[in-house]
Amino acid sequence: MQAKSLALLAFALAVALPATASAQTAVPESRAQIALSFSPIVRKVAPAVVNVYATRKVERQAMSPLFDDPLFRQFFGGGGGGMPRARMESSLGSGTIVDRSGLIVTNHHVIKDATDVKVALADKREFEADIVLKDERTDLAIVRIRDKGDYPFAEIGDSEGLQVGDLVLAIGNPFGVGQTVTQGIVSALARTQVGVADYRFFIQTDAAINPGNSGGALVDLQGRLVGVPSAIFSKSGGSIGIGFAIPASVVRFVVDQARTGDRVRRPWLGATLEAVTADVAESLGLARPQGVLVAGLVPGGPAAQAGLKVGDLLLTIDGHEVEDPDSFGFRFGNRPLGGAAKVEIRRGKTKGVVEIASMAAPETVPRDQRVIEGSSPFAGAKVMNMSPAVAEDLRLPFDLKGVVVGEVAPGSPAARVGFQKGDLVLEVNGVAIADTRTLLRAAQAETFLWRLVIQRDGQQVRLAFRG
């Protein structure tokens, strides 16, 4: 409380004192200065910040000799068979209502694998909520209150206008103690070394953020949502003043996608990028490391169509400087589809500007998404045919072909066996798997022995185990 008072006092004096005042101790000169408070902002935003309760079913397995193949355990991380022991597990996070219909933004990790979601408003009302969209790549999710109504909501602000040193408030439910407000400043912008999402471009703040704040609100002094708290750096589990929030520009992008569909469709670059190190910068004749290098191109992809070549140095995108692959990916991947991104490049000693079309990855083969049922090891797995669009969704190489596991239902046979999102199914009992129909037929076979060829992280593994 003392630190907050000091911060408020410092802010008041910075506004009230004339520019010519000498650096000396001063006292408030009026009752109005003493009464300065963030409470008007809190009254405006707090009703829109909710508690999010997610319930998921967790299966624990008793070990069984049916799944004691050492190769199987090595590949699937020690998964075992046997009778499942189910238990319900709950998680608590926060969320922010972003329109009057009850659309709520929260973190993906708050509602991951949830079977039921409830939200509690600041006025103690509780509602069931439906998951509208989950986007693991940004660690954001959108849920909607089932009951129709006119709910309090927070305006999504402009995170691009933030500057280091700006005052911000964090509102959420840390450790489940109830709605809490903390105050701090923007400590840094464009943090890209935070490994909780693909599109890493975080706002760093020293406003206290703790477990339970995830998915809540980081707001500016106009009460606008400028970020969604998502992660902290801590060795103790509590706040040490290094918290990270997803910028409002990403939040708006995902919310807009949720209004029109159940998944995020984002631009596809069709290229791989590499960071510029000090040694590379020196070899290129640069005064300092800047930009990113084109390391690979997908034939016919947007980057190739724009005329980019391997070795090109990308310096800016839409007028924003590029410092590393993550910052480029953030700027390009969160553009709306349609139009083109203007990218300044350097090739040799020549500079120029190219326009890269903002288009979705093509679905060259229909994904034919299917959920496998029955009692096979694949039961509960959602599978689909590979294409550039699916590869983009699952963060896989674009040249893969065949059938990929897109999702695994918690507690299902596929989950107990150890299948993971992104596994490529190449062969089942000697049958090459070319598409989802082939896998569906293979999974319906009655057999006492399952022989699989799976590819994960570029490694092929042959497995044999009893059914």
Do 395 and 388 contact (CB within 8 A), yes or no? no
Vertex 46: Cα angle to 45 and 51 (nearest 5): 130
Residue for token digits 């093509």?
362
Do 215 and 194 contact (CB within 8 A), yes or no? no
- 218/299 Cα distance (integer angstroms): 42
Q: Out of 94, 109, 327, 412, pick the active-site residue.
A: 109
Q: Is 321 left (phi over 0), alpha (psi -120 to 50) or beta?
A: beta
Torsion of the alpha carbons at 224, 226, 230 and 235, rounded to the nearest 10? -100
Q: Out of 113, 135, 139, 206, pick the active-site residue.
A: 139
Give the C-alpha distances (Å, rounded to integers) separating 371 from 175, 406, 443.
37, 10, 11
109 is catalytic: yes
Check the CA dihedral 248-254-257-259 and report its sign: negative
User: Amino acid letter at 351?
Assistant: K
Q: Out of 91, 94, 187, 214, pick the active-site residue.
A: 214
318 is catalytic: no
108 is catalytic: no
3-state secondary structure labels for all residues of the chain: CHHHHHHHHHHHHHHHCCCCCCCCCCCCCCHHHHCCCCHHHHHHHHHHEEEEEEEEEEEEECCCHHHCCHHHHHHHCCCCCCCEEEEEEEEEEEEEEEECCCEEEEEHHHHCCCCEEEEECCCCCEEEEEEEEEECCCCEEEEEECCCCCCCCCCECCHHHCCCCCEEEEEECHHHCCCEEEEEEEEEEEECCCCCCCCCCEEEECCCCCCCCCCCEEECCCCCEEEEEEEECCCCCCCCCCEEEEEHHHHHHHHHHHHHCCCCCCECCCEEEEECCHHHHHHCCCCCCCCEEEEEECCCCHHHHCCCCCCCEEEEECCEECCCHHHHHHHHHCCCCCCEEEEEEEECCEEEEEEEECCECCCCCCCCCEECCCCCCCCCEEEEECCHHHHHHHCCCCCCCCEEEEEECCCCHHHHHCCCCCCEEEEECCEECCCHHHHHHHHCCCCCEEEEEEEECCEEEEEEEEC
Residues identified as active-site: 109, 139, 214
